Structure 1
Amino acid sequence: MSKTSSYSLFDDVCGFVDEAAQYLDIHQGLLDQIKACNSIYKFHFPIRHEDGTYEVLTGYRIQHSHHKLPVKGGIRFSSFVDEEEVKGLAALMTYKCALVNVPFGGAKGGVSVEPKNYNERMLEKITRRYTSELIKKKFIGPAIDVPAPDYGTGAREMAWIVDTYEAFNPEVINAKGCVTGKPLSQHGIEGRTEATGQGVFFGIREALAVEEDMRELGLTTGYRGKTVIVQGLGNVGYYSAKYIAEAGAKVIGVAEWNGGIWDEKGIDIEALKEYQLKNKGFKGFPKGEFIENSIEMLTYPCDILIPAALENQITKDNAPKIQAKIIGEAANGPVTKEAEKILLEKGIMVIPDMYLNAGGVTVSYFEWLKNLSRVSFGKLERRYDQEKFRRLLGTIENATGEEFTEDEKTQLIQGASERDLVLSGLEETMVTAYHAINRVRKEKNIKSLRTAGFILALQRIAQSYTDLGIFP
């Protein structure tokens, strides 16, 4: 899953924006402002290894758009991190947030480092030092810039970040809102861990529900009976595959950087994930065929292909060989601009990353709101709702002379938990956004859902600038 050095995700994103702008009446000055990165912070910092040697690392935090504040975007720990990648990812966050109506500007950050080469103590040192650099330049804060996990980071790193921020800002009452994706013990939110994968599930489900579109692809509606290949079995790939399999689809291929598993009978995702965690890969997994060169699996026959790893995975070189009928971009930028043109000409539906992986930022928004309000969702009303439903059931029993079983009562009277409310909000966001994108696609008579998504996002961002009085 390598990245071509000459490839620029940021240029690709700008290309998509220019393409979408052709369908809108946007002043060129406004378009230039929307595309530009507002703030780019590149810095170097030393860390001392346990053997006494030193290493100088490079960090980034890029704020793409200030049309809404705070800005929002993950922090990536990867040897692939460079300025062009972070710029591209930050830009995607801007359009993603606008598309799903989450009131953030876009940002992204990262450290050019390979996490596997460091122990936990060193990773903590890197994370805290990175955070302190952001604090010094005011590139982090609940009203300024709110990071989140990304490739190579998780809840553990977010806990270190919030702890560091609170140490520097003891007087800030909303300090917990400086970062999302935190552990529950640090005022994270139920459902955040699986949010992006759950969003991928909802997004593809909505695409599959449109009978007219599925007929054009030669598919029936719904997940049942569909064959699926997933690239990447990290957090996003795992939860996407898990929920899709539970809905009746058959996962027949899973690719990772060090090999993949192919089994036309279907793969037990839970068993494969457990094996991966124990063995650091799929080699030796007792069921299915091990594929050494896993990138080839992207071209294997299936109904739905879900790239959930790194960007630049489907290019002009392998796009002609793709056999899937639907590509769901769970990762950021897995299909290049050139590749998408080839795929659309082949009649393949591409569900774009800017929509499909928006589950993470949507639930991050809920977590941020929870931190600002300083109360968990459902905490105030859950018991009240339970008592109200209990009385309602009692009234029904008295009127009918029939009694509900204890199991039925338990199911009917329970109030919504935080997780229930979070997933309900996520589902509403994904459902509404997909059909808005598809409606624009059909109104403009274009093939690309991505172009339709950018049109919708650009309309909303342009309106923000207009309402601010910055542009006519």
Structure 2
Amino acid sequence: MAHNEEYSLFEDVCSFVDDAAQHMELHPGLLDQIKQCNSIYKFHFPIRMEDGSYQVVKGYRVQHSHHKLPTKGGIRFSEMVNEQEVMGLSALMTYKCAMVNIPFGGAKGGVNIDPLKHNTRQLEKITRRYTSELIKKKFIGPAIDVPAPDYGTGAREMAWIVDTYEAFNPEAINAKACVTGKPLSQHGIEGRTEATGMGVYIGIREAVSVEEDMKELGLTTGLKDKKIIIQGLGNVGFYSAKYLTEAGAKVIGVAEWNGGIWNEDGIDIEDLKKYQVENKTFKGYGKGKFVENSIDLLENTCDVLVPAALENQITSENAPRIQAKIIGEAANGPITKEAEKILLEKGIMVIPDMYLNAGGVTVSYFEWLKNLSRVSFGKLEKRYDMEKYKFLVDSIENATGDAFNQEQRDAIIKGASERDLVISGLEETMVTAYHDMNQKRKDKKIKSLRTAAFILAIDRIAVSYTDMGIFP
């Protein structure tokens, strides 16, 4: 993508807010406040390389909105990281959390390095130093700002962050809640790994369940036999594909940066993933046609296209050739603003990223709650529920003289595990938010679900400010 001086993700996000504001009655001062980044922290620190030379590393943390605290958002390690990008991503986090009704303000962090050029020891040094810079300026804490993983970071980095934070704050009983996406052994949460992909699946499932919308697209309701093309088979792409397939959809194309696979009869996602992990490529995979230039796959005929890779994949250049009926934005910003106009003109439904990939932040919220309560979900009630259901099953069997088979019996008397409760909370969040957003689109008589999502988000943020007595 063009990481030039002209392109600013932040300005792009602000223009979405302006589009939405045209359909609302907002105090201009309030709109101004909602758009601004509240705090921007940019800092430098030296890191000693293996050969004894030094590299000066640039770090950022941006808190976009304090209408709710703590603020929340990932930390990315990438050479693409710059101030405008971090500002834009932190603004998106604000609207994303408001849209799915999660009580966080938006934030984002970044370190301008290529993680592949550093060994584990250096990455640990960089992560701990970054964290201590945030601690110094009170830019991290369970009640202030709670980071999470993003590009180039994962559970390991989150473990280093929480360890550093605890070392600086030995008396803080809630220290574990200073960051989410931690390993399970460090008080992470069950279901976090697959959360974003699961959310993508739930969002698409809800979209195809609305009869009048599907009629308009010339599709039947339900996921059964829907043809799907996925771009990107990383964590989000893989789990999205897995759950969509399990629900009866058929993945017919998978595109990766180094080539794609096409098979109209359907692709076995777990099998393909295994091959990819072993061979680092789809080349030579026997159960489908290898496509050298994988971006072309996005233009093939399908019902649902799921870009789950990088931003700016569908541009004004290739948008006219897109044949999908529905595009589910699993990645952040895969469709440019100009491209979206073209797609909507063609009658294609675009399910926006700020809604569709909110599964990650939703489950992060549950992890934060778990850390604050310092007890895992389900621990208190699981056995009690099991005993109660067991009694119920026994009573039914005695009264009817009929016996349940073992499988039915187990299913009924099973108590909810932490993962069961997390997935249930995720589902509740995604289902409610989809129908709120779709209803808003119909009420305002607009084509774009994205504009509807922004209207919904801005509405909620505006209420926060008004109830604080800051604006009339």
Q: TM-score, normalised by structure 1?
A: 0.98
Q: Is the 8 Å Cα contact of residues 233 and 256 (structure 1) preserved in structure 2?
A: yes
- Native 8 Å contact 2:174 2:371 kept in 1: yes
CA contact (8 A) 1:69 1:145 kept: yes
Letter of the 2:166 counterpart = E
Secondary structure (helix, strand or coil) at the match of 1:131 reads helix
SS at match of 2:364: helix
Partner of 2:132: 132
Equivalent runs, 1:212-227 vs 2, <5 Å: 212-227=212-227
Counterpart residue number, 1:167: 167
Q: Does 1:353 align with 2:350?
A: no
Correspondence for 1:40:
40
CA–CA separation in structure 1 for the residues paired with 2:255 and 2:129:
34
Q: Deviations over 1:323-342 (max 9, x none)?
A: 11111011111111111111
Q: Deviations over 1:33-59 (max 9, x none)?
A: 000100111112221122222212211
TM-score, normalising length from structure 2?
A: 0.98
Amino acid at match of 1:455: I
Point out the more displaced range, 174-183 or 311-320: 311-320
Partner of 1:305: 305
Please, which runs of 5 or more residues in structure 2 have no aligned partner? none
How far apart are residue 32 of structure 1 and its match?
Answer: 0.6
Q: Which residue of 2 aligns with 1:413?
A: 413
Q: How does 1:122-271 map to 2 (within 5 A)?
A: 122-271=122-271
Displacement after TM superposition at 1:4 (Å) = 4.6
Query: 2:443 corresponds to which letter in structure 1?
Result: E
Whether 1:290 aligns to 2:310 is no
Structure 1: 5+ residue stretches without partners: none
State how 1:99-118 maps to structure 2 within 5 Å. Answer: 99-118=99-118
The equivalent residue for 1:444 is: 444
1:407-437 alpha-carbon deviations (Å, 9 max, x no partner):
3222111111110010001001111000001
Q: CA deviation at 1:169?
A: 1.1
Report the CA distance between 1:122 and its aligned residue.
2.2
> SS state of the match for residue 371, structure 2?
helix
* Range moving further from structure 2, 221-230 or 207-216: 221-230
Cα distance in 2 for residues equivalent to 1:296 and 1:404: 53
Distance 1:119 1:282, change over 3 A: farther
- Does residue 402 of structure 1 match 2:432? no
Give the 4+ runs in structure 1 shifted more than 6 A.
none
Per-residue CA deviation, residues 307-358 of structure 1 (Å, 9 max, x unaligned), is 1112122111211111111110111111111111111001000000110001
- The amino acid of 2:377's aligned partner reads F
Aligned residues of 1:3 and 1:311 also touching (Cα < 8 A) = no
Q: Is the 8 A contact 1:9 1:333 kept in 2?
A: no
Deviation of 1:282 after TM superposition, in Å, equals: 2.1
Greater alpha carbon shift after TM alignment, 115-124 vs 145-154: 115-124
Cα drift, residue 247 of structure 1:
1.1
Kindly state the Cα deviation for residue 77 of structure 1 after the two structures are TM-superposed. 1.5
Query: In structure 1, the residue corresponding to 2:229 is in which secondary structure?
Result: strand
* Whole-angstrom CA distance in 2 between matches of 1:426 and 1:83: 31
Q: 1:85 to 1:198 in 2, by over 3 A?
A: same
Taking a change above 3 Å as real, the CA distance of residues 275 and 123 of structure 1, as seen in their structure-2 partners, is farther
Which amino acid in 2 is paired with 1:104?
A: F
Conserved in 1, the CA contact under 8 Å of 2:3 and 2:80? no
| Deviation readout 1:206-235 (Å, 9 max, x if unpaired) | 000001101111111111111111111111
Code of the residue aligned with 1:38 in structure 2: it is: N
Using the TM superposition, give the Cα deviation of residue 386 of structure 1 relative to its aligned residue in structure 2, in angstroms.
0.4
- For residues 264 and 122 of structure 2, the distance between their equivalents in structure 1, rounded to whole angstroms, comes to 42
Identity of aligned residues (%): 77
How far apart, in 1, do the equivalents of 2:136 and 2:280 lie? Answer: 38
Deviation at 1:89, TM superposition (A): 0.8
Match of 2:63 in 1: 63
Question: Separation in 1 of the partners of 2:44 and 2:260?
Answer: 36
Give me the whole-angstrom Cα distance separating, in 2, the residues matched to 1:424 and 1:203. 14
Query: Match of 2:471?
Result: 471
Worse-superposed segment, 312-321 or 355-364: 312-321
Report the RMSD for the aligned CA atoms in angstroms.
1.2
Write the distance in 2 (CA, Å) between the matches of 1:8 and 1:313. Answer: 16
Give the 3 Å change call, closer, same or farther, for CA 123–284 of structure 1 in structure 2. Answer: farther
2:422 aligned counterpart, secondary structure: helix
Structure 1 residues 209-266: Cα deviation after superposition (integer angstroms, max 9, x where no partner): 0011011111111111111111111111111011111111111111222222222222
1:198 CA displacement: 0.3
Aligned ranges for residues 326-345 of structure 1 at < 5 Å? 326-345=326-345
Query: Using the alignment, how far apart are the partners of 1:211 and 1:105 within structure 2?
Result: 35
- Cα distance in 1 for partners of 2:406, 2:322 equals 52
Q: AA paired with 1:148?
A: A
More deviation, 136-145/297-306:
297-306
In 2 relative to 1, CA 296–43 (structure 1 residues): closer, same or farther, beyond 3 Å? farther
